[in-house]
Homo-oligomer: A and B are copies of this chain.
C-alpha cells in the first residue's frame, strides 16, 4: 500500500514515523526539498500543491491520497476523484474543514454553534455585531491557520479590518486557487476553556473516539493539551465524543476529524473549528494513547482496522514548542531530557 501525502510539514513527518511499523509506504508531495517531512521520507516529489497537473501526476503514482494540510483547492481534488483516485478525506467532506462559511451552514442542524453569519461588507458586520453584541469574531472562510485570518472586532469602528486584511499576507497565499474567500462573523463566546474531540473514521464507517482534551491556545496556536480534560463530566465528555462521531459520519469523513470546541460559562459546548487530518491537539496520543492519531489516520485512509484510542496513563500533558527559524533544536533538548528521563519528545 502506498499513501501519498500532500504537504511536507510536521504532520506528514509524524505520519511517516507511524507508517514505518505498519509497512505502509509513503510518498510525499513537498513544498521544497528540505521541508520537515522531506528530511525523513524516502520518496519525495517537490512540487506545488496548487498546480492541478502536479497533483494529478503525484496522485497517479500512489494508492490513496491524504493530507498534511487542508489547503488544496476543492476543484483539484474533485478532478482526482473523477479520475478514480482514492482521496481520503474526500473533497465533499474536506470542504467543511476548508471553508468556514460552508462549515457553519452545514453544521447548523447539529446545533453546538455560536451565532454566525456570512457578511459581505463592513456594514453587514456592523449590523451583525449590533444584533448579537460586541465584540464579534470575524474569520476568513478559507485559508486561515494558526491564528491568521481571525480577528476580534471590538466595536463598529473596526468592522473594515477583516475585509482589508483578508487579501494580504499568508492568508492570501494559503487561500490561493479559491475564488470565494468570504468573511464569517461569529458571536464572541467568552469561553471558560477550549476542548478538542478527536475521532478517526474508516471508509466503511468504523470509528474510534479519543478521550477529550483540554487545549490552551496562545495567539491562535495550540501550546498545551491535557488529556482527559480535567473536570469534564462524563456526560460532557460523551456529548463531545458523540458530536464528533456524528459529524464524522454525517460529513462522511475518512481519517482524523478534530473538532475544536469551546466550553461556555453556562456549560454549553460549541464548535469552533473542524480539521480533517492529524491535529496538534492530538499529539499527546503518540506516547499517551494505545494507538496514535497518526497511525489511526493511516489505518483509516488505507481501510485497515482501527486501533484502540485509549489513554495509557491517567493524565497526559502535551506542550507544543515551535522552533521557528531554528534549524537544530536537538542541542537544546539535552538539558530538558536530562531533567526528566520519562519525558517524551516527538
Task: Give the B-binding residues of A (Cβ under 8 A).
Answer: 1, 13-14, 16-17, 19-26, 38-42, 44, 208, 286, 290-291, 299, 302, 304-308, 310, 312, 328-330, 333-334, 337-338, 341-346
Contact = CB atoms under 8 A, between A and B. Distances in A.
A20 B16 CA distance: 9
Contact of A342 (B17, B308, B329, B343): B308
7 contacts: A13-B20, A25-B39, A39-B42, A40-B42, A291-B341, A302-B330, A305-B341
Contacts of A22: 330, 333, 345
A193 to B, nearest CB: 28
Contacts of A20: 13-14, 16-17, 40, 346
Nearest to A342: B308
Contacts of A330: 1, 22-24, 302, 304
A313 to B, nearest CB: 8
B17 A307 contact: no
Contact of A42 (B38, B302, B345): B38
Contact of A21 (B208, B328, B346): B346
A19 B42 CA distance: 14
Report which residue of A24, A44, A208, A337 has the largest number of chain B beta carbons within 10 angstroms of its beta carbon: A337
A243 to B, nearest CB: 23
A250 to B, nearest CB: 24
Report which residue of A1, A17, A338 has the largest number of chain B beta carbons within 10 angstroms of its beta carbon: A17
Nearest to A346: B21
Q: Which 8 A-B pairs have the closest CB atoms?
A: A21-B346, A305-B338, A17-B20, A308-B341, A305-B337, A308-B342, A23-B330, A20-B40
Contacts of A13: 20
A253 B286 CA distance: 30
A38 B302 CA distance: 22
A344 B1 CA distance: 19
Contact of A286 (B21, B24, B345): B21
A244 B305 CA distance: 40
Contacts of A342: 290, 307-308, 310
Contacts of A25: 39-40
A159 to B, nearest CB: 44
A328 to B, nearest CB: 7
A138 B168 CA distance: 75
B337 A307 contact: yes
A345 B16 contact: no
Contacts of A341: 208, 290-291, 305-308
